[in-house]
Amino acid sequence: MNFTETPARDRDRTKARLYRMVMPDHLCPFGLKSKWLLEHKGYEVEDHPLTTREETDAFMDKHGVETTPQTFIEGQRIGGYDELRAFFGQALKGEDETSYRPVIAIFSVAFLIAAALMLRAGNIDPLFLLTGFVAVAMVLLGLQKLQDVEGFSTMFLNYDLLARKWVPYGYIYPYAETLAGVLMVAGLLPWLSGPLALFIGTVGAVSVFKAVYIDRRELKCACVGGGSNVPLGFVSLTENLMMMGMGTWTILQALL
């Protein structure tokens, strides 16, 4: 394959050359993304699939690069997919950049599920919607933590007061939160789900408040699992306050 770039004056200004790996056992996803992005931006893509390891290595050696895909526009090498996004002015997320997106996604889905359950029950009840939302959110948040209990417990130890005193609590927490949420969704064993949610919510709220608002520490929240970049703060405190409220409500409902 000829890797020589055609001079810019001989090409249309909207033409781009893309070199990407297309092998029987590997189709580069970033190559596909680069191709789609270029086409989406109105470029005519001159696609050059690299179909063997030898062909790929020869291309990288020639251009002094370590990865593919590689995009060329107007005879100039733009780079890989991230560099292409930057070329088009798209924001790139830093490795340590914090984001509330995971929490927003979970809360949004929890609300939609609660609304669906309410509509299925045929009863338009704001209280049912609110309690259902909190219960489903607890299940979804617990599920996130259960994907990597070890990673969660490590991050949890950065700020949770009880886990710092008794390390096993960090391993128990994901199961306790998920169990309480499932029982609340099902309306079962309120004598267990209520106190459980109230307890973990209270400990969590006190821990977050101390770490963020008293000690002024900048930490990442373990609320959506150990690998998240969600900042510890108001959202984390709100999550725990919601569990406290739901636990209290469940206990009162069981007593009345």
> pTM for this structure?
0.77
CB 15 within 8 A of CB 5: no
Candidates 65, 70, 72; CA nearest to 82 is 70
| pLDDT confidence band for 7 (50 / 70 / 90) | very low
3-state SS assignment for residue 19: strand
| pLDDT confidence band for 97 (50 / 70 / 90) | low
| pLDDT confidence band for 231 (50 / 70 / 90) | confident
Q: Residue 166: how many CB atoms within 10 A of its CB?
A: 9
pLDDT of residue 13: 53
pLDDT of residue 234: 83
pLDDT tens-digit series, residues 40-76: 999 999 999 999 999 999 999 999 999 999 999 988 9
pLDDT of residue 6: 46
Phi–psi pair at 5, nearest 5 degrees: -80, 135
pLDDT, averaged across the chain: 89
pLDDT of residue 8: 44
| pLDDT confidence band for 226 (50 / 70 / 90) | low
3-state SS assignment for residue 37: helix
pLDDT of residue 34: 95
pLDDT of residue 140: 95
| pLDDT confidence band for 180 (50 / 70 / 90) | very high
Give the mean model confidence (pLDDT) for residues 111-128. 92
Q: With a cut of 80, say whether residue 141 has pLDDT above it.
A: yes
Phi–psi pair at 103, nearest 5 degrees: -70, -40
Q: Which residue has the tokens 């309690």?
A: 131
